[in-house]
Amino acid sequence: MKKRILVDMDDVLADASERILEILNQKNNLSLSKDFFEDKDFYDYVKSNNLKSYRDELNAPGFFGNLNVIPDSQEVLAELSEKHEVFIVSAAMEFPNSLKEKYDWMQTHFPFISWKNIMLCGDKSIVKGDILIDDHEKNLIHFDGETILFDAIHNKKINNYNRISNWLDIKKHILG
């Protein structure tokens, strides 16, 4: 039976954390890596160390359009879309410049996903489906179907969801 699979973009398909760390490191003369946050809360670390913020860069043209693709996501999502309904659901309204960039990024890296299956929204609590793959608890908490927390530097302390760290494991989980 076909499932409706909803997939977030940032830090699930597009490596936003990689770019955020680059900006954070540049602004604060640091050399932090993703591994540094294995046992730390990213947001708490930034706040408690009074680091110069990266957030203004999220509104800058080009931020969302130039993110790297999360490894194996293209191949696995292509395979999932052959067997299931796949929708990309991304909260884009907080950063209005991201709307066109996210759409263009999807067309470049995931051309097999129709524009009809891309939802750029503000609040994901309205979406319905069988599975939601997301990196933020705020998006998973109200979802009625199966939730998968995609591992990211900012969610290491969240433990009450099925956490999956890579796309090959997502493939095993959904396709067997």
Q: What domains are defined for the chain?
A: 4-15+64-175 (3.40.50.1000)
Residues 6 or more apart in contact with residue 52 via CB below 8 angstroms: 24, 27, 28
Q: What is the pLDDT of residue 94?
A: 85
Share of the chain above pLDDT 70, in %: 100
Residues 6 or more apart in contact with residue 18 via CB below 8 angstroms: 34, 67, 68
Q: How far is CA 10 from CA 3, 63, 90, 175, in A?
A: 22, 11, 7, 23
Which is the catalytic residue, given 8, 11, 15, 135? 8
Please identify every stretch of the chain with a pLDDT value under 70, giving residue numbers as ranges: none
Q: Per residue in 156-170, pLDDT tens?
A: 999 999 999 999 999
Active site residue 8: yes
Which is the catalytic residue, given 10, 11, 135, 151? 10
Active site residue 15: no
Asked whether the whole model's pTM tops 0.85, one would answer yes
